[in-house]
Amino acid sequence: MPSPCQGNSPEPNVSAAGNGTQTVSLDGLLEAAARRHRAADGANDFLPFLLHETRDRLSLSCVVLWKTHQREVASLGWLGDSEPDADTQSKVASVGVGDVAVLPAESSSDRRRLLAGATLVGDHELVLDVTESDQAVDEDLLIQLADVFADLQRRRMLERHLQHSDRENSLAALVAQLHGSLDPQVIANTLATDGAAVLDCRRVAVARRIGSRRWELAATTGVSQPNQRSDAARQICQWVEGAASGTPDENAAGRVIVPLGESKRWQDATWAAVFENEAEFSESQLSHIDQICRHAVIGFANSDTLARSTFAGQLSRMWRSVLRPRAAMLLLVPALALVALWLVPAELRIEVYGELVPVSRRFVFAPDDGTIADIFVDDGGEVTADMTLCVLENEDLQVQREAIDGELATAVARLAAIDAMRGDRDARNDTQLSAEQVELTEKTASLTRQAQILNQRIADLKVVARMDGQVFGDRLKQLLFGRPVQRGQYLFEVADPKSGWQLDLRVPEADARHVLNAIASSDTNLLVSFALETSPETFRQTHLQSLAASTELDAAGTLSTLAVAQVDGEGFQDQRPGSGVVAYISCGRFSAGYVWFRKVIEFVQRNTWL
């Protein structure tokens, strides 16, 4: 019997009779128990609180509630110094309704024991068993209390009966739903959703066998379409696979896994149910689980019978027709084609796109923040090393230099004044002047370094060519003149077409592995066939020179790897840098089926578990 909270409730009406019997009113006792019950947040049952008040207010050493039926006695709860005496249960069963039986004390030190009977239901009776402590108990009050406890116990029994009836009705409705559809997915969803509500458990999941040892999640509580790649789905499938293989999870408290097969063996089960609860399942819940699973097995068996009678029968007829000579010949041709695709080798060539660029080239970036004040080159113009390309202006740098020059001049003048004052023999503050002189000397050195840095930054605002070549950029003067730029911003490119040409190719991330595997397995550079987009009819060949060690985003916003292949300079004199190129990198020989259907195979591999 749970102990209610001990509230600080006022005493009920209590008076002492002249014969040593204490007089406690029933109303006062019920009021005190009601206050204690209200003080206990979340408590629904009033009977334990009244039992506590009965023991405390009547100063009893022990109080017991018995239920009797045809000489059988069972304890409903007790409070006291010791557990109820089982040897006196025969005396409890003999107490009549509305009577008070007093058990005689065996010795002078023993306390008096009183038994009061009341009708419970039919021939079921309730007996209030009290053991006095220091005060005698009023027998009339004891009979009244027995009637009150009997009434509270009847309410208990009625509430439990209603709960059991509601659960049985919900169970019957669930069984009807399990038999109401022949769609296995509907049956799985019903079992997962309504089964958790009927069992009052945390979650019910249904798994479907997809292989000899593999399972997939078909339905779970609160989820209509479970994600097979989620952590929860993978965990549930691992539990089912472990139970099916005979190695269940050791931490399986509050979890029941049942194979949904007629033989109740995992070898024959196509479906499985996982029941999860916060605590261990009760005997009543386990009984309901067994009943639900039996009906779920029947529902899945009926759906399987329907499936065999339709689809499987058609497959059987198709198989018999395949065995006929004419049909066998029709199937032999595609079978031979599949074998040829598997056995005949073909060259795997990875298609890549890129551009034709000079070998020697430099990208020109803005050396600092500023505005382009002048630009001296045009697109395609010839330049030589150290030739001025453009000039930037930065007013902030000019202001900073003027400020530093002013501070530097002030510091130098003050140093000269201090030297003049130190030469005067009448000066009495040589110590102070010496400290100021040291401070000004350090400040002068710092300002000098700052001035040098600013001068260098200002000088760098004049951008010069670092090599001989041509300038390549779209509408340079129109787009760059007077334009504000930031440090590191791309301006244009200087390249030397006379230095030779190379292909800058972008290998897609999905195809990079084939190129890497071919490089690792080949002793020579990979063959590259390419054609310029300006002359697609002419294919040329070269060899792959290098493949970048990292992957980066290209201009199209996709992941790719830079591959470089040098080409013979002859025949490209009239080409423009940046011309588009379509190239094919030879990566070895594979089966023709894989070469031709590689994209489809890789798509299936990326989107399935194959």
CATH number, domain containing residue 227: 3.30.450.40
Identify whether residues 389 and 419 lie together within a single domain: yes
> Per-residue pLDDT averaged across 6-31, rounded?
57
Report yes or no on 490 lying in a domain.
no
Closest CA to 240 of 192, 206, 194, 268: 206
Query: Hey, what amino acid is at 406?
Result: G
Identify whether residues 116 and 201 lie together within a single domain: no
Report yes or no on 1 lying in a domain.
no
Could you give the CA distance from residue 605 to residue 456 in angstroms, rounded to a whole number? 58
Could you give the CA distance from residue 13 to residue 498 in angstroms, rounded to a whole number? 117
Q: Are 155 and 50 in contact (CB under 8 A)?
A: no
Identify whether residues 152 and 27 lie together within a single domain: yes
Identify whether residues 536 and 570 lie together within a single domain: yes
Identify whether residues 48 and 150 lie together within a single domain: yes
Residue-wise pLDDT tens digits, 452-483 = 888 888 888 888 888 888 888 888 888 888 89
Local confidence band at 17 (pLDDT 50, 70, 90 cut-offs): very low
Report yes or no on 538 lying in a domain.
yes
Instruction: Name the strand (E) or helix (H) holding 351.
Output: strand 345-365
Could you identify the residue written with the tokens 């049909």?
327
State which of 164, 199, 229 marks the end of a domain: 164
Identify whether residues 130 and 194 lie together within a single domain: no
Q: Are 190 and 204 in contact (CB under 8 A)?
A: no
> Per-residue pLDDT averaged across 126-154, rounded?
88
Identify whether residues 142 and 213 lie together within a single domain: no
Phi, psi of 311 (to 5 degrees): -70, -45
Cross-strand bridge partners of residue 125: 68, 119
Q: Are 364 and 493 in contact (CB under 8 A)?
A: yes
Identify whether residues 500 and 459 lie together within a single domain: no
Report yes or no on 211 lying in a domain.
yes
Closest CA to 233 of 245, 221, 250, 251: 221
Identify whether residues 64 and 134 lie together within a single domain: yes
Instruction: Name the strand (E) or helix (H) holding 90.
Output: helix 89-93
Could you identify the residue written with the tokens 């691992």?
238
Could you give the CA distance from residue 458 to residue 184 in angstroms, rounded to a whole number? 79
Question: Angle formed by the axes of helices 139-178 and 283-307, to 10°?
Answer: 10
Report yes or no on 27 lying in a domain.
yes
The pTM (predicted TM-score) of the whole model is: 0.41
Identify whether residues 397 and 532 lie together within a single domain: no
DSSP reduced 3-state for 557: coil
Residue-wise pLDDT tens digits, 55-88 = 888 888 889 999 988 878 888 888 887 776 656 7
Pick left, alpha or beta for residue 98 (phi over 0 → left; psi -120 to 50 → alpha; otherwise beta).
left
Report yes or no on 329 lying in a domain.
no
Could you identify the residue written with the tokens 């005949």?
344
> Per-residue pLDDT averaged across 515-543, rounded?
88
Identify whether residues 263 and 375 lie together within a single domain: no
Could you give the CA distance from residue 295 to residue 306 in angstroms, rounded to a whole number? 17
Between 61 and 422, where is the model more confident?
61
Identify whether residues 415 and 276 lie together within a single domain: no
DSSP reduced 3-state for 553: strand
> Per-residue pLDDT averaged across 505-527, rounded?
90
State which of 141, 164, 187 marks the end of a domain: 164
Write out the residue range of the structural domain in which residue 517 sits.
495-607
Strands (E), 52-182: 60-69, 72-80, 100-103, 113-121, 124-132
Could you give the CA distance from residue 577 to residue 579 in angstroms, rounded to a whole number? 6
| The three-state (H, E, C) secondary structure of 63-89, written as one string | EEEEEEECCEEEEEEEEECCCCCHHHH
Report yes or no on 8 lying in a domain.
no
pLDDT at 335 over 90: no
Question: Angle formed by the axes of helices 26-39 and 139-178, to 10°?
Answer: 40
pLDDT for 338: 82
Closest CA to 392 of 476, 487, 492, 470: 487
Count of the separate structural domains present in the chain: 4
Query: Hey, what amino acid is at 209?
Result: R
- Residue 559 neighbours by CB distance under 10 Å: 13
> Per-residue pLDDT averaged across 503-531, rounded?
90
Sign of CA dihedral 57, 58, 59, 63: negative
Residue-wise pLDDT tens digits, 259-289 = 998 888 898 899 999 999 988 888 888 888 9
Report yes or no on 356 lying in a domain.
no
